[in-house]
Amino acid sequence: MIKVINVVGARPNFMKVAPIVEAMKRREREFTPLVVHTGQHYDAAMSDAFFNDLDLPQPDVYLGVGSASHAAQTARVMEQFEPVVIREKPDWVLVVGDVNSTLACALVCVKLGVKVAHVEAGLRSRDRTMPEEINRLLTDQIADLLFTPSADANENLVAEGIPVERIRLVGNVMIDSLYKHLERSRQSRIKDALDLNEKRYAVLTLHRPSNVDDPLTFGRILDALEKISEQLPIVFPVHPRTRKTIAELGFAERVKRIPGLRLVEPLGYFDFLNLYSDAKLVLTDSGGIQEETSVLGVPCITLRENTERPITVTIGTNTIAGTDTDKIVAAAFAALKQKTRPKVTIPLWDGHAAERILAELS
């Protein structure tokens, strides 16, 4: 029996861990999965709903570390996670993505001599001002197994001197969740609740400090949104942190005056999947949604100067527009001219990444 601790720290982790835990439960004679939620990002609207929607069992252990500076948060996760590893004596610890919990738990395992695997390894933005990039780089250096979503991730790891025997190309486990739940998400009534016409709206997500903490950068994005919203409504599920900065920067009245911009509370997994899967276009500074929109053929405009997921640009539907108003507007209007959605096929993004991961752990 292989005992595996699966670590989640923030909402994007849930979609990656859920199919892995489900696959382990299907092979209950081989695997004993435990779920540890560090509580790095915790909000009932942004966490509990996702556990329920994704059929992810409630955490076996909740650490409750809460928000803090990067250093303090990483330290708290390590301090709280170490006794769990010592007590449970797992054969493997799986960390996913690039949040502080990913690196913190990997460090604990290495120092205790416990094998650790990194799911979604090898992604690189080449931007070391992003905390996530540092987490990715360091986690990949110390993990025993590196599960990559795409061939470019393998190339990044080899270029950094990672031995090839530690690297496994398994595909994108987040797409496992997407394919499993896409049909069920059709039952959501979110578009009716928001009175939206089918496929004649945009969806916006915005939360990165580099975008929402700087009034000049945020202002340029709002300039673009004002122009785009003249063509179609933009639904904006507002991250709690972003809602706070809108008020602190004095943008509340300006945002309210953009007639086509509709702010809503954070959505559960099914409602959000239903919403963006039928959107005319998506504007985002997030990572995973670049992948999901590519698979669905939905035009995505990334409000960053780079992406750690370049395959979404070369094969998928993603356009890197940065935070320049004119570039954002031009990319959006180009997307609106498209008559049909492209059919995108990315190798191993087929809904079976979790099974490939388990095969490597067996």
End-to-end CA distance of the chain: 9
Listed by start position, the domains of the chain span: 2-171+349-361, 188-336
Q: What distance in Å separates the CA atoms of residue 298 and residue 343, rounded to the nearest whole number?
A: 10
CATH of domain 188-336: 3.40.50.2000
Average pLDDT over residues 331-335: 96
- Reported as a single tens digit per residue, the pLDDT across 211-230 is 999 999 999 999 999 999 99
Domains 2-171+349-361 and 188-336 equal at CATH topology level: yes
**Residue 56 pLDDT:** 76
Task: Specify the higher pLDDT residue, 168 or 70.
Answer: 168
pLDDT bin (cut points 50, 70, 90) of residue 241 is confident
- Reported as a single tens digit per residue, the pLDDT across 22-63 is 999 999 999 999 999 998 765 655 566 667 777 777 899 999
Give the chain's mean pLDDT: 94
**Residue 43 pLDDT:** 62
Superfamily grouping for domain 2-171+349-361: Glycogen Phosphorylase B; (3.40.50.2000)
Is residue 183 predicted with pLDDT exceeding 60?
yes
Mapped onto helix, strand or coil, the DSSP state of residue 275 is helix
- Reported as a single tens digit per residue, the pLDDT across 35-46 is 999 987 656 555
Spot the catalytic one: 37, 70, 118, 207.
207
**Residue 40 pLDDT:** 76
Could you confirm whether 118 is annotated as catalytic? no
Is residue 4 a contact partner of residue 358, using CB atoms and an 8 Å limit?
Answer: no
Residue ranges of the alpha helices (H) in the chain?
11-26, 44-53, 70-88, 100-112, 131-142, 151-159, 173-185, 190-193, 209-212, 215-228, 240-248, 252-257, 269-277, 288-296, 311-314, 325-336, 353-361
Task: Specify the higher pLDDT residue, 269 or 144.
Answer: 144
